[in-house]
Chain A
C-alpha cells in the first residue's frame, strides 16, 4: 500500500537556521502531497500542499516541491523561528482511488531555540 517515510527527529535548531525535513513516498497512483503541522497541545493544521509533479507548495515561509522522479516532498524553511517549534507530518492522498484517507509519516519534532 501507499506509505510515507520522513526523517526521524527530534530536530533541534537555533533561531534563523535553515530547516530541511526529508519526506519520501511510495504510491501506486499519482497522489497529492501535504505537510501538516501540530503545535503543542493542538490539532493538525494544513501547512502546505502540492497536487502534481513540480508543483511547489508554500506557506508561512515554508516550501516543498513535488518531485516525482525522486518520489520526494522535502520541507524547507530558510530561517526558522522559536514559534516554528512543532511536530511536522508529511502525508499523501491518492484522489484517483476515490475518497481515500490521508496516509501520514511518523512525524518529525522540531525544536527551535533562541
Chain B
C-alpha cells in the first residue's frame, strides 16, 4: 500500500460526459502528479500541483483540468469525453525536503468511455 488513495477505481461513461477523479496523497506529501496510461501512449504526465498551486503542465488536453485543495487532495476533471480518453489515470505524490525523488502511485482509476 503506497498510501495514495484514488477513487473511483472504475468508471464507465458515455461520450460527451464529464467525470471527476479524486486523489488523496500520502500523509505529509505536498506534491500531487497526474498521469494517463493508455495502450498506445504509455505513461503520459498530465499535470503537477504543489501545495495548492499548479507547478508543471504536461500533455494535458484543454478539456481536462485539475486542482489541489487546501487539505491537499486533488481532483482531475475530464469533460466532453471522447472514446480516446479511455485509459488508466494515476495519481502520485512525493515529499519535498529530504526526498530522493521517488513518486508514490495510487492504484489508478480506470475510465471507459463508450
Q: Report which A residues bind B (CB closer than 8 A).
A: 32, 34, 36, 42-46, 49, 51, 89, 93, 95, 98-107
A-B contact pairs, 7 of them (CB 8 A): A46-B103, A89-B43, A93-B101, A95-B99, A95-B101, A101-B56, A102-B33
Cα A45 to Cα B42 in complex, Å, equals: 16
Set A32, A43, A95: member contacting B106, Cβ < 8 A? A43
CB distance from B7 to the nearest CB of A (A): 13
Interface residues as binary, B6-30 with A (CB distance below 8 Å gives 1, 0 otherwise):
0000000000000000000000000
Q: Judging by beta carbons under 8 Å apart, are A102 and B56 in contact?
A: no
Determine the chain A residues whose CB is within 8 A of the CB of B31 once the complex forms: 99
Known: A45-B2, A101-B45. A51 touches B58 (CB 8 A): no
Q: Judging by beta carbons under 8 Å apart, are A106 and B96 in contact?
A: no
Known: A99-B50, A102-B45, A107-B42. A32 touches B101 (CB 8 A): yes
Determine the chain A residues whose CB is within 8 A of the CB of B102 once the complex forms: 34, 46, 49
Determine the chain B residues whose CB is within 8 A of the CB of A42 once the complex forms: 107
